[in-house]
Structure formats: structure tokens, C-alpha cells
């Protein structure tokens, strides 16, 4: 999914959106909602399927309540698959941020140079759906025939 300028993308991650992400339509929830999101994304105990489904459902509900078309997601890998499905079922497109690592030289007061990795937001990667998989298989079949 190419994110259009008018697309509102809810930040459903634990982190604050970067200026580049905000420029591409990412919106931050209210501080109260952000605290809920952070709590839902933080696991202190080993979760079972019911807990994963409960949290994914609540996160998807938050996105629906915010009236967005898409949500930038990230967190525990065992939660993301269920969150993708739940968001899609609710009509919200799950997106992952894609960043490019740049090496930046920082000159120190003593004249030495410190290399620092800076991550620059480049765009969004949409979650791969079952339909995407079937389309890919169909394309491969066409190429082979």
C-alpha cells in the first residue's frame, strides 16, 4: 500500500513517531490512549493464545475508534500476526515502518570521530495478506506455463 498524503496512519507502536513518519500521515493518539497501547504491547508474563487475541482485538478497537485507514504496528512478533489479521478484519491496513540505516560521523570535542547509526524513515511495508500469497502463486504459475 502506498500511503497517500491524506491517509491517516495511527501509531500503534510503543515509540513516538518520527518527523518523517508524521510527514507521511502518522498520527499520535492522545497520551491516555498511547499509555493503553504501550500497556497492550508490553508482556511481563508468557502469553497464551487467549491473551494474544485479547490484546490484538483491543488494539484493533483503538484503531477503529480513532477512525484511521491504516495503523503503523510493531512489537512482539508473536502478537503481530494476530494484530495484522484483526486490523484487516476491521478494515484497517496494518503497516510496518521501513527505515534505512545511515552512518553519521560526529566529531568529538577532542577531535576524534564517533560513528553513529541513524535510522531514517523511508516508507511503509504493508502486511502480506493471504490474497497477496494467492496472487503470487498465480503469477508464478503463469510464468511457468
d(Cα 51, Cα 43) in Å, to the nearest integer?
10
Closest CA to 12 of 78, 91, 132, 97: 97
In a domain, 34, yes or no: yes
- Give the separation between CA 87 and CA 92, rounded to whole angstroms: 5
Note the pLDDT of residue 1: 45
Query: If DSSP codes are grouped into helix, strand and coil, which group holds residue 133?
Result: helix
Structure confidence at residue 118 (pLDDT) = 83
Confidence at residue 5, expressed as pLDDT on a 0 to 100 scale: 57
* Distant-in-sequence, close-in-space partners of 120: CB < 8 Å, separation ≥ 6: 20, 99, 100, 101, 102
Residue 48 is assigned to a structural domain of this protein: yes
Q: Quote the pLDDT of residue 46.
A: 97
The H helix count followed by the E strand count for the chain is 5, 5
Q: In total, how many domains does the chain have? A: 1
124, 72 in Cβ contact below 8 A?
yes
Whether residue 27 is contained in a domain is answered as yes
**Is 60 domain-assigned?**
yes
Domain of 104 in residue numbering reads as 9-144
The secondary structure element, H or E, covering residue 71 is strand 70-73
Residues 6+ apart with CB under 8 A from 100: 119, 120, 122
Look at residue 3 and tell me if it is in a domain: no
Tell me, what's the pLDDT at 3?
A: 56
- Taking 50 as the pLDDT cut, the residues of the chain under it are 1-2
The residues that bridge with 87 in the sheet, in sequence order, are none
Q: Rounded to whole angstroms, how far apart are CA atoms 23 and 76?
A: 26
* Cα four-point dihedral sign 77, 78, 82, 85: positive
Q: Is 1 inside a domain boundary?
A: no
The answer as to whether 67 is a domain residue is: yes
pLDDT at 27: 96
Residue 2 is assigned to a structural domain of this protein: no
Amino acid at each position: 500500500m502506498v500511503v497517500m498524503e491524506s491517509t491517516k496512519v495511527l501509531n500503534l507502536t510503543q515509540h513516538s513517531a518520527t518527523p518523517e513518519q508524521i510527514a507521511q500521515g502518522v498520527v499520535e493518539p492522545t497520551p491516555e490512549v498511547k499509555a493503553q497501547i504501550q500497556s497492550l504491547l508490553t508482556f511481563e508474563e508468557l502469553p497464551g493464545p487467549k491473551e494474544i487475541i485479547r490484546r490484538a482485538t483491543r488494539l484493533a478497537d483503538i484503531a477503529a475508534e480513532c477512525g484511521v485507514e491504516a495503523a503503523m504496528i510493531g512489537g512482539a512478533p508473536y502478537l503481530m500476526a494476530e494484530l495484522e489479521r484483526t486490523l484487516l478484519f476491521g478494515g484497517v491496513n496494518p503497516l510496518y515502518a521501513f527505515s534505512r540505516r545511515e552512518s553519521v560521523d560526529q566529531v568529538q570535542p577532542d577531535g576524534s570521530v564517533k560513528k553513529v547509526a541513524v535510522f531514517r524513515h523511508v516508507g511503509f511495508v504493508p502486511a502480506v495478506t493471504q490474497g497477496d500469497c494467492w496472487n503470487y502463486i498465480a503469477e508464478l504459475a503463469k510464468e511457468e506455463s
